[in-house]
Amino acid sequence: MVNARDSINQPSGRRAVARCAELGRAPYSEMEGGLFRPYLGPSYRATCDRLATWMHAAGMTTRMDAAGSLLGRYEGLAPDAPVLLLGSHIDSVRDGGFFDGMLGVILGIEAVAHFAAAGKRFPFALEVIGFGDEEGSRFPSGMLTSHAVAGVLDTPDPAMRDWADTATLATALAEFGLDAGRMHAASRKGENILAYVEAHIEQGPVLEAEGRALGVVSAIAAQHRYRMTLRGMAGHAGTVSMDLRRDALVGAAEIILAAERIGRAGTDGLVATVGSLDVMPGAANVVPGEVVFTLDVRAGTNAARDRAAREILAVADAVAKTRRLELAISMQQDLDATPCDPRLTTFMEQAVRDVTGADPRLLVSGAGHDAMIMAHLAPVSMLFIRCAGGISHNPAESVTDADTDSALRAMIAFIGLFERHFG
């Protein structure tokens, strides 16, 4: 069995960490001094090429699907064997960490490399998938690629422009030899996909606080994400009296405080976040005339999420009326709570127990993952890995070789249990 003391040339947690770190710098990042890997950008292409090299070395054939996700396939005992999918996402947020998403892809490759080195084949094929657009890293619509693979992609607007306003979805795909009108061809519906398994850093502090290397995800929280615009009237900060102002920023501040209050009072893991705020015209001596901000509401159940969202939006409507502001709200993301498959969860719990010698911690993931979308295609399971301080989406994101090695051994054990109960 592999462990952290094995050579860096062998499948191991140590090698997985080193590979993630390698992919955190140019040409695999488009940010000087940090990591930013947007979907379909030059760094994305370079990363896919490097991942494909490692996939080939692990005994896999590779291809890019019609939506731009990278796949590596390790054949089963028969050419037409059903598929067990392992993976996560390749893209990153701006100034992100090395391990969010990428660690799950690399651990999938390392697990396949372990079995290839042992000459082990299964009655199912193993496929490692690196999704291209979990984060909404380039275009204002996240999880495009997993929606495509799961066969639930709404027709994307080919004219949708990226955040930098440098390209449309159509032109970005065309540079990869892909066609925006053919993204649906990435769908795996109708194929015999047995399950989707995703390893991921926890992105939270629970495992570290409890002294645990690994956790098992029981469900992924429901999410609503909105784009909200308040329009008032810009005016001179020295001449517009306080009682005549239609200050969009003050209105937004009221709504933001209400979101915090409602989020704090909620149950079922409810959280509410305003993470982006654009103020216009953005001058020190001008009353803000327009504010655009995001609202992200999450909870362990759809009911708790929906109840909180209704309350916050009702406050927003009341604030707009009281302050004589125009309010526009658009839904950016609507994801239902996703329970992980109970049978697969049992296998993952046993795998973690076998590796750590302790009963595993079950966790609800407050962060969204491609597994939420893949649940429309096949049963899903998730393994969480401790990260230092619970920090993620940040250059300080960190995991240890030893914890990552435990995760690899748990993935290997899970696949063994899956085979034992196959059919």
Residue positions forming the annotated binding site for Zn(2+):
89, 100, 135, 200, 393
Nearest Cα residue to 92 out of 38, 51, 41: 38
Q: Is 36 helix (H, G, I), strand (E, B) or coil?
A: coil
In which element (H, E) is residue 15 found? helix 13-22
Compute φ and ψ for 106, nearest 5 degrees: -65, -40
Q: Which two tokens stand for residue 353?
A: 């127990």
Q: Is 262 left (phi over 0), alpha (psi -120 to 50) or beta?
A: alpha
Q: Which two tokens stand for residue 46?
A: 């370079």
Q: What are the start-end ranges of the H helices in 245-382?
A: 248-265, 302-322, 342-356, 370-374
Q: Tell me the sheet residues that pair with 167.
A: none
CA distances from 336 to 145, 369, 372 (A): 18, 12, 8
Q: Is 382 helix (H, G, I), strand (E, B) or coil?
A: strand
Q: Using CA atoms, how far apart are residues 73 and 15, in angstroms rounded to an integer?
A: 20
Q: Is 171 helix (H, G, I), strand (E, B) or coil?
A: helix
Q: Is 329 helix (H, G, I), strand (E, B) or coil?
A: strand
As annotated, the binding site includes 89, 100, 135, 200, 225, 285, 298, 393
Provide the residue type at 373 as one letter: I
Q: Is 290 helix (H, G, I), strand (E, B) or coil?
A: strand
Q: Which two tokens stand for residue 395?
A: 């250059």
As annotated, the binding site for allantoate includes 225, 285, 298
CA 376, 43, 16 angle in degrees (round to 5)?
A: 70
The CB density around residue 242, as the number of other CB atoms within 10 Å, is: 7
Q: Using CA atoms, how far apart are residues 303 and 323, in angstroms rounded to an integer?
A: 30
Q: Considering only CA atoms, give the Rg of the chain.
A: 23
Q: Which two tokens stand for residue 109?
A: 């490759």
